A and B are shown apart, each in its own frame.
Chain A
Amino acid sequence: EVQLLESGGGLVQPGGSLRLSCAASGFTFSSYAMGWVRQAPGKGVDWVSSIKSSGDTYYADSAKGRFTISRDNSKNTLYLQMDSLGPEDTAVYYCAKPLKDSGWTLRGFDIWGQGTVVTVSS
C-alpha cells in the first residue's frame, strides 16, 4: 500500500524556521517526482513546491527564496525546509505523489499524506 507520512509541523514564531519530512512507502520513491501542497485554515489548497526524480526543483512565488525542497532517495524521504516564516504560512502541509513516474512533475497528485500542521504565531 502506498503511504506518505508527514512530520515536523508545529508552532513557530514569525521569522523562524521549520523542516518538514515525508516518509514514503509502498512504491519506488526514487522514480517519482514529489510535491508539497498546503491549505490554510478554512481556505483552498495551494501548491508550494515540487521536485523531480532527477532533483530539479520548482517553487510557487510564495515559497521562492524562503523554502527549499529536497529528497533523500536512500531514505525514501521528502523534505521541505521553511525559513523566514510568517503568519501567512500557517497551514496544513501535505506531501503528495503524482499518478505516474514519467512526465508527471506538475500534472497533479493522486496520493496525499494526512498532512502536518504548521502554525506561525508569536
Chain B
Amino acid sequence: QSALTQPASVSGSPGQSITISCTGTSSDVGGYNYVSWYQQHPGRAPKLMIYDVINRPSGVSNRFSGSKSGNTASLTISGLQAEDEADYYCGSYTSSSTLVFGGGTKLTVL
C-alpha cells in the first residue's frame, strides 16, 4: 500500500491556474475511476473537493476540476484565490480493497 505520489508544493499567483498531479499504478489510480481530492486548511479536517475523478460535490466551486490520464490523476484550480492556499490530498481505491492517499501538496498563493 504505497502512498500515491504528489509534488510537495506548488504555487501560483491570484487569477492564475495551477495543476496538482497524483501518480499511482494500474492497481489504483489507473485501474479505477475512484480518485478523490481533498483540501485541508491548517487545524481543520479535510474537505472533499472532487470525487470519482471528475465530479464536484454540491457547494464546491467550479474553479476546481479533476481529470485522469493513465496512472496519473490531476486537480486543476483556475482563477486562483487567496483562500485556496491549503494542503491538497488525492485518494484512490485500490485492487487490494483498500483506500490509499497521496503524500499531500502544499499550495501557496503568491
Contacts and interface: CB of A to CB of B under 8 A. Distances in A.
Given A44-B89, A44-B101, A45-B104, A108 B1 contact: no
B53 to A, nearest CB: 11
B48 to A, nearest CB: 4
Nearest to A4: B45
Contact of B98 (A45, A58, A112, A113): A58
Interface string B87-110: 101010110011111111000000
B93 A45 contact: no
A107 B90 CA distance: 11
A110 interface: yes
A46 B101 contact: yes
Contacts of A99: 48, 51, 57
A107 B52 contact: yes
A78 B103 CA distance: 26
A110 B57 contact: yes
Q: How large is the interface on B (under 10, 10 to 19, 20 to 34, 35 or more residues)?
A: 20 to 34
Q: How large is the interface on A (under 10, 10 to 19, 20 to 34, 35 or more residues)?
A: 20 to 34
B45 A60 contact: no
B64 interface: no
Nearest to B57: A110
Contact of B97 (A106, A114, A115): A106
A108 B99 contact: yes
Contacts of B100: 47
A109 B48 contact: yes
Contacts of B34: 106-108
Interface of B: 1, 3, 34, 36, 38, 40, 45-48, 51-52, 57, 87, 89, 91, 93-94, 97-104
Given A44-B103, A94-B46, 4 more contacts: A47-B99, A47-B101, A58-B99, A107-B52
15 contacts: A37-B101, A44-B101, A44-B102, A45-B38, A45-B89, A47-B100, A58-B98, A99-B48, A99-B51, A106-B34, A106-B97, A106-B98, A108-B34, A109-B36, A110-B51
